[in-house]
Amino acid sequence: MEALQLSREALHQRGGLLDQMLDKLFDNAILVDDQCRILYLSKGTFSDPEQEAALVGKPVRALDRVSPFDLVLRTGRAQTDLVLELFGRRCVSSLYPVVDGGYTIGVVGVIMVRNPNRLKRLFSTISKEDSAFQGLYRDMARTESGYGLEDYLGESPLVADLREKARRAAESEESILLIGETGTGKEIIAGGIHGERHRGSAAPYVTINCTAIPENLLESELFGHEKGAFTGATEAKMGKFQLAGAGDLLLDEIGDMSLQMQSKLLRVLESRAFERVGGHTIIPLNAGIIAATNQNLLVMSEQRTFRADLYYRLSALELHLPPLRARREDIPLLIDHFCGQKGGKLRLTPAALCALQRYSWPGNVRQLKNLVGRWLVFYDGVQITEGHVEDELTIGQRSYNEAFGVPPQCSGAAGMWNGCGPARPRSLEEQERQAVEDALEYAQGNRALAARVLGISRTALYQKLERFQRKRQEMT
């Protein structure tokens, strides 16, 4: 079971089959709604049933401060086999999202093994080298975000540089802006920055997706509101700025925030204080702000769809996440990792791996992860060839060249993935042009950044671009 498919009605109905299952099948179970409030505690969680009843409707943190319910709600992904200290005892627990029509509407947390001797026996059957075992221990040290910077995988220089910059940014109190194409891992880096700042503490990590929340609700989601502030505000509610306390707030997809909200956000960032909608009390902002986007805010600010002053305010610490095609050497490692996560293995011919490394990966690591997941299901025990890769990855692309580029070229991977067949070597001129194009793409057209990535001066980059243009004109 990776998710429990259940209607909202069934989730909120008490005394039915769901409650009976939770009572009978597990040592303890907790059911929470989409606000992380307790809906149900299985029988026997406490010896006093009144104590159980008193907790219903309360935030789950009142009972359990360690299990990552928030993370499961946010990501819709199960967190299984967590070794935790709950109710004063060590136990293995798993959290599963409750899903209705594609939306995560709650979480069920179950404790599988409470008896420490059973736990010890379980551990003795797992080898110390086993990555799942190491994962269990890493999970124990997790913070609210569920991520550490080490979860952002890759050994390429671009990734090492990014992890180091993120670590330094975490030490600062300035706002941080994460820029990267879709699927490049902005949520991992944001969570990792929080993890770096607050490892070992219970500082909150709160996220908000500015695209997902309708414009008219975003203000009260961020600032909170007082009772009666607007029609429908029947209760006072804390906003995300306040919920983030002294932890961190991730403003995801910030490029989709309306200009009006951008002004309000800028005011909060400058004054480090805010008021609830309909309220008069000034509340200090203590949380760290991390914003993320896959849009080019600089261009947007020139087009006046993003406030330039907010952009400059946010970009004090700007981190660029490289697209996967700019760090092709990490592909084998990522494939291995995603296979390991699913407990499977893929058999790829060297030519298939070369094809994967040539591919342009518009969906970046997310696309690679999904592909690995699909192949583990469809190609279990089958040798995956270059043909398989090309068939699969040209679907939806206009042409082979668009997907794989010309001429076919392997970047040469390390370790067990070595041995790509000889590809036609490209001239230095071609390679230089490609490197410049990659760098400009990575820097989203920002030439100063592209020059820095290439390790050359800005003037040298301009000279190269002029030379390429001259050549192109000569050829036409």
Binding interface with Mg ion (CB under 5 A): 187
Q: How far is CA 459 from CA 137, 138, 262, 439, in A?
A: 50, 46, 35, 15
182 touches ligand ATP by CB under 6 A: yes
Sign of the Cα pseudo-torsion (7, 11, 12, 14, in order)? positive
Q: How far is the CB of 366 from ligand ATP (least distance, A)?
A: 4
Query: Count of alpha carbons within 13 Å of 317, Cβ hemisphere only?
Result: 20
User: Phi, psi (5° rounding) for residue 111?
Assistant: -100, 120
184 touches ligand ATP by CB under 6 A: yes
The angle, 0 to 180 degrees and rounded to 10, between the axes of the packed helices 428-442 and 458-475 is: 120
Comparison of 180 and 332: residue with beta carbon closer to Mg ion: 180
User: Phi, psi (5° rounding) for residue 148?
Assistant: -120, 165
End-to-end CA distance of the chain: 60
CA distance 179 to 185: 10
Task: Output the six-digit token pair for 386.
Answer: 């270059």
Site for ligand ATP in 142-161 (CB under 6 A): 152-154
3-state DSSP call for residue 111?
A: strand
Judged by beta carbon distances under 5 to 8 A according to partner kind, the member of ligand ATP, Mg ion, none in contact with residue 148 is: none
3-state DSSP call for residue 275?
A: coil
329 touches ligand ATP by CB under 6 A: no
Comparison of 109 and 183: residue with beta carbon closer to ligand ATP: 183
Q: Candidates 38-46, 105-113, 361-369, 429-437: pick the segment binding ligand ATP (CB under 6 A).
A: 361-369
180 touches ligand ATP by CB under 6 A: yes
119 touches ligand ATP by CB under 6 A: no
Q: In this chain, which of 82, 188, 290, 351 binds ligand ATP, going by CB under 6 A? A: 188
186 touches ligand ATP by CB under 6 A: yes
Q: How far is the CB of 366 from Mg ion (least distance, A)?
A: 9
187 touches ligand ATP by CB under 6 A: yes
- Identity of residue 102: G
Q: Find the length of the chain.
A: 476
Q: Which helix (H) or strand (E) holds 353?
A: helix 350-358
Task: Output the six-digit token pair for 316.
Answer: 């004090």
Judged by beta carbon distances under 5 to 8 A according to partner kind, the member of ligand ATP, Mg ion, none in contact with residue 188 is: ligand ATP
Judged by beta carbon distances under 5 to 8 A according to partner kind, the member of Mg ion, ligand ATP, none in contact with residue 45 is: none
Q: Candidates 3-11, 179-187, 268-276, 343-351: pick the segment binding ligand ATP (CB under 6 A).
A: 179-187
Q: Candidates 176-184, 229-237, 273-281, 434-442: pick the segment binding ligand ATP (CB under 6 A).
A: 176-184
Comparison of 186 and 237: residue with beta carbon closer to ligand ATP: 186
* Cis check: omega of the bond before 407, within 30 degrees of 0: yes
Q: Which parts of this chain interact with ligand ATP (CB under 6 A)?
A: 152-154, 180, 182-188, 294, 365-366, 369
